[in-house]
Structure 1
């Protein structure tokens, strides 16, 4: 990307290759320029581990340079010659402030507050030996038309002279599978606001949110150890296959994302489960999408206590509204879904009693587990709103 602006805003819909393209750009600079320090940042440290570092490794491998790059996993750094890439979250700000930078990338920037952005921007002041300007790259889905990125950076003339806006949609990604393209196009019949945000990459505002009874937390407290452990499994191919782990304690429930990955065969899934679900938990119930009985049977034969889930969507949502829900900050995809999970609206703006069928794979897995296991018990009397 050729740009002479300090701030480069990559705004667009889902599947538009925003993040992939920025990783390619930063790696190109990393491998061809000299004495450059690059900062890659998200709101939380766990989310950057799961959603940014792995794609960097994959693209380095695709470039054939993985073996030439020194990896410091503990410090979350990459080194090549005199260049460094450092990964960090805003929940650990001191490392960000301890150095100056030539390039910064704010991924999923709608998670970040304006005050955090302004503070980190102060450190975009490392010397440049080749007269290339120091730059910031920002990427996100435009989910809130009142967000500071729009109002402060794009629309404010005092900032906009230093800003380049790059707009993209799924149509700009030639490598996106046809099935995935179809999912974005079908959003026009699901919810016009979701269609504008995730298909057209236009500013919108997520309304009619289903869950407001949740918060992101750093860890599961020790006193929850005696809670009921439940797993949810939503099968996918172009859509991700998702495994969730929930621990229920009284009227509280803690959620963790174990797997969120597309293009997995059932054999891949079984191998993943064997490697990542403790043997002591194989007897714990796993509730999976009932429309795949052959997959469920194959997994059960491997020793897992897997069952077909009850799929009453309305009653399942109503049950989950009766809990206070906590989501681990490391579960970045689950958090994204909780923020977006909304009731559908028709073309006249009327709210319908069904959720938008998009960005809901973790939501389905959680609902499968809790509703299938706890329906009919009648012990959860607290209702959160």
Structure 2
């Protein structure tokens, strides 16, 4: 006998998602701002559905597999606990999966950085019915999505249905997701937009952050607050693309240099740390790793750098925080230096980066996001001016800092 637990889904899920919760068409797509409940609601829905459909299994997909542990895996475990059914589920880290103990149904986790693991999925019990793409905006290649879409196939028992769910923040209107799901009207697509205003569980301090953003950064508020598409016009960098390069091959080239930069952040902005290999002769930059996180204290920044193994590298950091630089040295980041900011250093740094072909490894999702959204500022009349907008530029600023030694050497030559 399974112990019965009564909970109120209305109280747990809240408002704003009734249509989404009950939809059974092929594609269920929700773009939303931060704090819009889209991911937590999806996690609750998956757990509830799997207990309702004893032959259904779920595949959860992210662009990079390692990102599951602290996002979708944690959210689904939270949902299980929130629904008070943790005694019925078993979560494992190796292999990463969650099992419904009464039936053996599974929630499986995969990353697009290992294509074979995605396309060769089999389940022990029942059928693979559903897939959830979290942070779907990070998937730049529509073909990668199609491969998983095609793997959800085959006849199902009466009453069952196949469905692909996609949740994401809508950074750029040129993304294939807009054309594929939002610019069309098809009976098998539910495409909706949500935002923090429907989230009754947010605290007063969370709402204050959105109000601050609304007043001080309206473009960012439109995307991250209201969940509207970001405007792609006026992109500063068009000389970049994602490329799954092999760093070990790049560093064999003669004359290549490493470049590490650091831009400090905390509450509103993230601390950003890009790691790159630079080929000055061929004018190529290869961004292969990143740290991108809010709320990090200086000792935590040092720990993050050490965990990546970069504590012995020369790191060029934002000169506006000399105290933080001194503290990081005390925490073992001995070779950190302040950037040499001068007149028009931002424009000069941008112009220098524009002379390179920039390749971003697919695992560096935040770098791709910033390069997609870094645009020129507009005046009150809506005309672009020769000044970059002060947003989506934290990794890019840190990349500028990291390139200072290379720019000096090239200028001398």
Residue aligned with 1:59, SS: helix
Number of the residue aligned with 2:169: 141
Matched, 1:252 2:284: yes
Matched, 1:71 2:115: no
Number of the residue aligned with 1:233: 262
Maintained 8 Å contact 1:214/1:327:
yes
Give 5+ residue unaligned stretches, structure 1: none
- Could you tell me the TM-score, scaled by structure 1's length? 0.81
Output the CA distance in 1 between the equivalents of 2:271 and 2:322: 16
Number of the residue aligned with 1:307: 337
Maintained 8 Å contact 1:215/1:325:
yes
Number of the residue aligned with 1:376: 408
The worse-fitting range, judged by mean Cα deviation, of 315-324 and 145-154 is 145-154
Output the CA distance in 2 between the equivalents of 1:291 and 1:179: 26
Residue 303 of structure 1 and its aligned partner are, at CA, apart by 3.2
Matched, 1:177 2:206: yes
Output the CA distance in 2 between the equivalents of 1:119 and 1:303: 45
Number of the residue aligned with 2:302: 270
Q: Deviations over 1:21-58 (max 9, x none)?
A: 3234334445675332112224x4xx2422x3321343
Output the CA distance in 2 between the equivalents of 1:147 and 1:56: 23
Residue aligned with 2:380, SS: coil
Q: Number of aligned pairs?
A: 367
Output the CA distance in 2 between the equivalents of 1:57 and 1:152: 27
Decide whether aligned partners of structure 1 residues 377 and 96 sit closer, same or farther in structure 2, where only a CA change above 3 A counts.
closer
1:208 to 211, 224, 234: 234
Matched, 1:297 2:323: no
1:217 to 243, 250, 253: 243
Maintained 8 Å contact 2:262/2:273:
yes
Maintained 8 Å contact 1:57/1:66:
no
Decide whether aligned partners of structure 1 residues 32 and 264 sit closer, same or farther in structure 2, where only a CA change above 3 A counts.
farther
Output the CA distance in 1 between the equivalents of 2:23 and 2:213: 32
Output the CA distance in 1 between the equivalents of 2:44 and 2:74: 11
1:131 to 150, 159, 162: 159
Decide whether aligned partners of structure 1 residues 185 and 87 sit closer, same or farther in structure 2, where only a CA change above 3 A counts.
same
Output the CA distance in 2 between the equivalents of 1:142 and 1:323: 28
Residue aligned with 1:69, SS: strand
Number of the residue aligned with 1:84: 106
Output the CA distance in 2 between the equivalents of 1:139 and 1:367: 32
Of structures 1 and 2, the larger Rg is shown by 2
Maintained 8 Å contact 1:323/1:380:
no
Maintained 8 Å contact 2:316/2:339:
yes
Residue 296 of structure 1 and its aligned partner are, at CA, apart by 1.0
CA RMSD of aligned residues (A): 3.3
1:335 to 333, 349, 368: 368
Residue 85 of structure 1 and its aligned partner are, at CA, apart by 2.1
Maintained 8 Å contact 1:244/1:362:
yes
Residue 297 of structure 1 and its aligned partner are, at CA, apart by 0.6
Residue 143 of structure 1 and its aligned partner are, at CA, apart by 4.3
